[in-house]
């Protein structure tokens, strides 16, 4: 048995999803003639109670488009120090938008309203960059799949309103947060100016993210997506998978969360595991006691055909749609008997 816990992006479409994709009605989306894509965009906008939505080939492009539309070159945005838009989008915030990131020292990737308020530059001082945007991440990836407290999001919205700032959500794994916290899409739609969500992580699609916002915002997004090279043709073959995933793969995320909690418990019982970031969704981030090497741990698991990856100086496991109960029991067994020697 081979088990891949490197990321929830590694899932492959099931036979049922592939059938839906093969049967999709398609047209040229650059002429807005792909009815499946229009259906996905309308469906997801309706779910969030937002005016409009746009399909993107990646979450990075959806975030970058949102940031570009909310800012002017020279502006500054506020985000957590671990934010994906800062660490893992290859400098796109500065490359595409000419914008700098003012990082906040949050708690496992989530920030507080008072921290936002403290780093907003005085708009009357021409010395400092104009603060125009706040970007939150839910769940926070590098923070260990952490969920925001929704009350804090409401407070951040108030700060944004009183300082004339836009509020963007990098919701690549928002689905996990909704399921873990029993929250609704509409409550998020009411609060954010724009939201990006990923279809190719927990929901199991091969490709795709969606950006949501007002109709005016999404109309402007067409130009930015085109500039970034992301305008596409017969994408109903991909967006049909998105419709299928929204209908079938959201509620089951609770299984991924349960398995992640069980992995956390087993890891916690191992003498060479030092600490684990409290598991809230499908991501487990942990580190090893002094003297044990991450590489040796990864290699030892590889010996059992189990694959995990480092995240910075720590280790990460991610549960997902293709991680079955059978694989899970196998991994728990292997972990329990894992032997690791100090270097
Ligand atoms: C995966 C991810 C993205 C987008 O990634 P792509 O690989 O470009 O689709 C954005 N934000 C977060 C928090 C992510 O985990």
What tens digit of pLDDT does each residue of 275-328 get? Answer: 999 999 999 999 999 999 999 999 999 999 999 999 989 999 999 999 999 999
DSSP classification of residue 149: P
For the cut 90, the answer to whether the pLDDT of residue 341 exceeds it is no
pLDDT of residue 92: 98
Confidence of residue 331 (pLDDT cuts 50, 70, 90): very high
Ligand 1 site, residue 75, Cβ cutoff 6 A: no
SS3 259: helix
What is the pLDDT averaged over residues 72-79? 98
- 8 Å CB contact between 230 and 211: no
Confidence of residue 343 (pLDDT cuts 50, 70, 90): confident
Ligand 1 site, residue 137, Cβ cutoff 6 A: yes
Give the predicted TM-score (pTM) of the model: 0.97
Pairing of strands 194-198, 166-171: parallel
| Average pLDDT over the chain, rounded to an integer | 97
Ligand 1 site, residue 172, Cβ cutoff 6 A: yes
pLDDT in tens, 185-244: 999 999 999 999 999 999 999 999 999 999 999 999 999 999 999 999 999 999 999 999
pLDDT of residue 255: 98
Instruction: Measure the CA–CA gap between 27 and 16, rounded to whole angstroms.
Output: 22
Instruction: Measure the CA–CA gap between 231 and 263, rounded to whole angstroms.
Output: 40
SS3 annotation, 278-335: CCCCCEEEEEECCCCCHHHHHHHHHCCCEECEEECCEEEEECCCCCCHHHHHHHHHHH
Ligand 1 site, residue 59, Cβ cutoff 6 A: yes
pLDDT in tens, 119-168: 999 999 999 999 999 999 999 999 999 999 999 999 999 999 999 999 99
- 8 Å CB contact between 257 and 180: yes
For the cut 90, the answer to whether the pLDDT of residue 342 exceeds it is no
What is the pLDDT averaged over residues 9-21? 97
In angstroms, what is the span from residue 338 Cα to ligand 1's centroid? 32
- 8 Å CB contact between 37 and 235: yes
pLDDT of residue 13: 97
The residue among 339, 313, 319 whose CA lies nearest residue 262 is: 319
CA-nearest residue, atom 3 of ligand 1? 59
pLDDT in tens, 222-234: 999 999 999 999 9
What is the pLDDT averaged over residues 8-30? 98
What is the pLDDT averaged over residues 256-265? 98
In angstroms, what is the span from residue 173 Cα to ligand 1's centroid? 8
Instruction: Measure the CA–CA gap between 70 and 167, rounded to whole angstroms.
Output: 9
Q: Where are the alpha helices (DSSP H) in 184-324?
A: 185-191, 215-227, 236-248, 253-268, 294-302
In angstroms, what is the span from residue 126 Cα to ligand 1's centroid? 34
CA-nearest residue, atom 5 of ligand 1? 59
For the cut 90, the answer to whether the pLDDT of residue 16 exceeds it is yes
Instruction: Measure the CA–CA gap between 52 and 211, rounded to whole angstroms.
Output: 9
pLDDT of residue 122: 97
């Amino acid at each position: 048995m081979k088990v891949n816990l490197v990321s929830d992006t590694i899932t492959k479409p099931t036979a049922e999803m592939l059938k839906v994709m093969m049967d999709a009605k398609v047209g040229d989306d650059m002429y807005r003639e792909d009815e499946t894509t229009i259906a996905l965009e309308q469906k997801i906008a309706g779910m969030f109670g937002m005016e409009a939505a746009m399909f993107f080939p990646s979450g990075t492009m959806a975030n970058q488009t949102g940031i570009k539309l909310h800012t002017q070159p020279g502006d500054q945005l506020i985000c957590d120090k671990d934010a994906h838009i800062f660490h893992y989008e290859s400098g796109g915030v500065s490359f595409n938008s000419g914008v700098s990131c003012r990082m906040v020292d949050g708690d496992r990737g989530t920030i507080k309203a008072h921290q936002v308020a403290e780093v907003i530059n005085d708009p009357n001082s021409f010395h400092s960059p104009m603060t125009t945007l706040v970007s939150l991440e839910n769940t926070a990836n590098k923070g260990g799949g952490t969920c925001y407290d929704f009350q804090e999001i409401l407070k951040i919205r108030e700060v944004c309103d009183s300082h004339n700032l836009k509020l963007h959500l990098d919701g690549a794994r928002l689905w996990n947060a909704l399921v873990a916290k029993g929250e609704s899409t509409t409550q998020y739609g009411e609060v954010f100016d724009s939201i990006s969500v990923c279809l190719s992580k927990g929901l199991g699609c091969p490709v795709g993210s969606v950006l949501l916002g007002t109709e005016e915002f999404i109309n402007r997004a067409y130009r930015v997506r085109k500039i970034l090279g992301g305008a596409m043709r017969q994408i109903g073959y991909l967006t049909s998978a998105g419709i299928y995933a929204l209908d079938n793969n959201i509620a089951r995320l609770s299984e991924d969360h349960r398995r992640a909690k069980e992995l956390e418990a087993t890891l916690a019982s191992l003498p060479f595991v030092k600490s684990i970031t409290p598991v809230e969704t499908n991501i487990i981030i942990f580190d090893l006691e002094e003297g044990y090497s991450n590489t040796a741990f990864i290699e030892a698991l590889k010996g059992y055909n189990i694959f995990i990856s480092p995240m910075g100086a720590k280790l990460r496991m991610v549960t997902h749609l293709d991680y079955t109960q059978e694989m899970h029991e196998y991994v728990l067994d292997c972990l329990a008997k894992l032997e690791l020697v100090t270097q």
